[in-house]
Structure 1
């Protein structure tokens, strides 16, 4: 765990660095807020499309070649993306490089498969929580660094992020051990690496079924949040890179607290499916409140309230991971990543469209929160489907099993 957690930490710090400055960078190539919202959506769309087709292939490759080489490929793709983005002089360059980096990057899914390789089923909720805390720690450090560096120059965070990606690749080459033994590796079935086929199989897997729709709806809401947060707070409150960096810092702090500690307490007392349902309800309420907020400080207060919402992804990953055998972890979690990438394709189109419709409203207007109102509705629908699914497929992991896992 320490090896993969350090890898993920460096990875997420490098990604977090660019979040507060990518939308403002796109704005330097556009003439209005409406155009900025549109082209930022296109830049985000490019990554999502490429990642949708690339994730199941890379997930299957990690089941055959091992996790380590696929992670190294992802770090290389990130470094290329960051450096070229920092040197970009036009929007088309941003779109082109995001296509390349999206196709090469499946680090999150492969890291989850890595954790599944080294963890017994009863330990996975706790260890996915540790991994989630590491993701959160990356977002504690990355966005605030990106905001402060972006306050100096919008291009500077991209070069720092590229340097970190190279450091991670060097660390992977010389230090990171392989988690998948050769006897557990399987040949690549290219038909199964087809993203649409992988999603169909995921939906047909015993114990997953309609949970695919729950993951998809929740992921779509989350990606709409990610792709609209910076522009939303800019349009509604007039925030810049520094203010957005601090707000993302707050989200990261809460993610670390929840994933690193509170989720362990929760899984000792409740089964993963119950935590997921409570989290979906919590997220729906918080999305609505974010959309209605008319003062910047309210965004911070709502971040603190969304404790259970930050547990949804981890608990759903736990249920999916325990539904498949040890030989299919990479392909299955790669399929989940592909599903997430599919929602990442739709999210910027939907989010940027809603922001374009509301960009002309004055600061503080409740209608600018349209993307968040949609997110709340998606979470409500996901909650209904999750309740139906978990009634038919109770989780094999009970609270007592989680409590028995080593701490």
Structure 2
């Protein structure tokens, strides 16, 4: 089943998104399995290196330069989304011209083969360039969103996006765990009796094994796409995408002039607004995601919680469970009752409140540890639920701002701008937290980065108010 194109500001003419009596169309199993594997693989690609990249950089640097390790680790971490920013539009155009399936197969295979090269890195420059190249080869997220737009309709699109966000959550949990577990494996006691791990190659390249695991995950996803995903984009639509000029009537007194390179729709106010909201949302959460572990690990005398890695992992595990429950159980019910723009704004305001509430837990850590933990878990569960709702809503708004002929390119441009925000976010959050720690004598200094994150998501909520309901 291929859904017809949506029009207007994310709504069909005369459609009521909040109609709870609408019968939900079953999701196609094969395509959704492929989409889920892509999202899981994407989380592995981005996050698996986070537990060991700092130590990898330390190994590359001379002892007198170790104080710069954090900066270089941030640069390496930002290279993947920056590579996506450079090429996302090209991948989206390719998906609209040649089809979703071959584009996804090529992107998945390319990133899978690049992964082991990162494990063989012998310098910071090689590591950064490898990550940049891997990100540039990966336009899968934008194309995957176009696939969801192709195979769903308004009755089941929310559940389709919910499944994807849950899979990303699972990948963001298991990816870093596996990366940290397999890094430097030749020197770890648990692997001492495994000849394969004790080979000279893993002793010379201690971070190769997690990269091989990333490669295997990617090849499994490649196989699932090849077997389970049919082409979801019709040959007729692809022929329209190649026309040098074509006027498509969306049925909502809105005419979009198509051109060969598919960049015309950026001038459409609806598309530009959706991409702006997506970028601000991505920026808000990358600032939060980067600052949260810093708040948890910092000592209480600078406003932190003084938690160790296992305690931070416990908090993240609780938030992961909350995300799964919210996405699979609560969000589909809420989405049927409220229109998407309204739900996004409510979730954005909720997220801003959670961001600003979180540092309160640090104030109580020295007075009442149980109360501090309670406040912390409430904040992380509320923010992760708001995050799930916000991203599901904005993905639908971006998809619905385009028609079938340019859905891949529109999603690619949205993904490119979100990737740019995610590339800038680590630098911004690091500078803000460092500034707050250096000025710990100022009351409320620990709120500085979280206030910026709250301002970003509130700005996105204001921008989304222009969508008609």
TM-score > 0.5 by shorter chain: yes
Q: Among residues 29, 37, 45, which one is paired with 1:7 in the alignment? A: 37
Distance 1:173-1:226 versus aligned 2 partners, 3 A rule: same
The alignment's TM-score, normalised by the length of structure 2, stands at: 0.72
Q: CA deviation at 1:288?
A: 2.0
- Give the Cα separation in 1 of the matches to 2:217 and 2:278: 31
Q: Return the index of the structure with the highest Cα Rg.
A: 2
The alignment's TM-score, normalised by the length of structure 1, stands at: 0.81
3-state SS of paired residue (2:225): helix
Q: CA deviation at 1:209?
A: 4.6
Q: Which moved more, 1:147-156 or 1:164-173?
A: 147-156
Structure 2 residue 326 is matched with structure 1 residue 258: yes
What's 1:330 paired with? Answer: 408
The answer as to whether partners of 1:60 and 1:188 remain within 8 angstroms in 2 is no
What are structure 1's unaligned runs of at least 5 residues? 395-407
- Give the Cα separation in 2 of the matches to 1:253 and 1:271: 26
What's 2:195 paired with? Answer: none
- Give the Cα separation in 2 of the matches to 1:188 and 1:103: 27
What's 1:401 paired with? Answer: none
The answer as to whether partners of 1:147 and 1:241 remain within 8 angstroms in 2 is no
Distance 1:275-1:19 versus aligned 2 partners, 3 A rule: farther
What's 1:403 paired with? Answer: none
Q: Among residues 338, 347, 351, which one is paired with 1:279 in the alignment? A: 347
Q: Among residues 140, 161, 166, which one is paired with 2:214 in the alignment? A: 161
- Give the Cα separation in 2 of the matches to 1:20 and 1:243: 15
Aligned length: 384
Pairs within 5 Å for 1:39-58 = 39-58=72-91
3-state SS of paired residue (1:324): coil
Pairs within 5 Å for 1:177-188 = 177-185=230-238, 186-187=241-242
Structure 2 residue 334 is matched with structure 1 residue 301: no
- Give the Cα separation in 2 of the matches to 1:193 and 1:104: 23
Structure 2 residue 424 is matched with structure 1 residue 371: no
Q: CA deviation at 1:90?
A: 2.3
Structure 2 residue 281 is matched with structure 1 residue 218: yes
- Give the Cα separation in 2 of the matches to 1:319 and 1:168: 27
Q: CA deviation at 1:122?
A: 3.9
3-state SS of paired residue (2:358): helix
The answer as to whether partners of 1:129 and 1:259 remain within 8 angstroms in 2 is yes
Distance 1:311-1:85 versus aligned 2 partners, 3 A rule: same
3-state SS of paired residue (2:404): coil
Q: CA deviation at 1:65?
A: 1.6
Q: CA deviation at 1:160?
A: 1.6
Structure 2 residue 70 is matched with structure 1 residue 17: no
- Give the Cα separation in 2 of the matches to 1:33 and 1:377: 34
Q: CA deviation at 1:157?
A: 2.8
3-state SS of paired residue (2:156): helix
Q: CA deviation at 1:250?
A: 3.6
Q: CA deviation at 1:225?
A: 2.9
3-state SS of paired residue (1:287): helix
What are structure 2's unaligned runs of at least 5 residues? 1-30, 189-205, 245-257, 299-303, 366-371
- Give the Cα separation in 1 of the matches to 2:260 and 2:32: 30
Q: Which moved more, 1:23-32 or 1:254-263?
A: 23-32
- Give the Cα separation in 2 of the matches to 1:90 and 1:292: 41
Q: CA deviation at 1:285?
A: 1.5
The answer as to whether partners of 1:41 and 1:351 remain within 8 angstroms in 2 is no
Q: Among residues 384, 403, 406, which one is paired with 2:462 in the alignment? A: 384
Q: Among residues 79, 94, 112, which one is paired with 1:79 in the alignment? A: 112
Listed one character per residue, the Cα deviations across residues 65-96 of structure 1 (whole Å, up to 9, x for unaligned) are 21122222322343244322323232212211
- Give the Cα separation in 1 of the matches to 2:98 and 2:115: 26
3-state SS of paired residue (1:18): coil
Distance 1:209-1:84 versus aligned 2 partners, 3 A rule: closer
The answer as to whether partners of 1:211 and 1:386 remain within 8 angstroms in 2 is yes
Listed one character per residue, the Cα deviations across residues 305-329 of structure 1 (whole Å, up to 9, x for unaligned) are 2223320011112122222211111
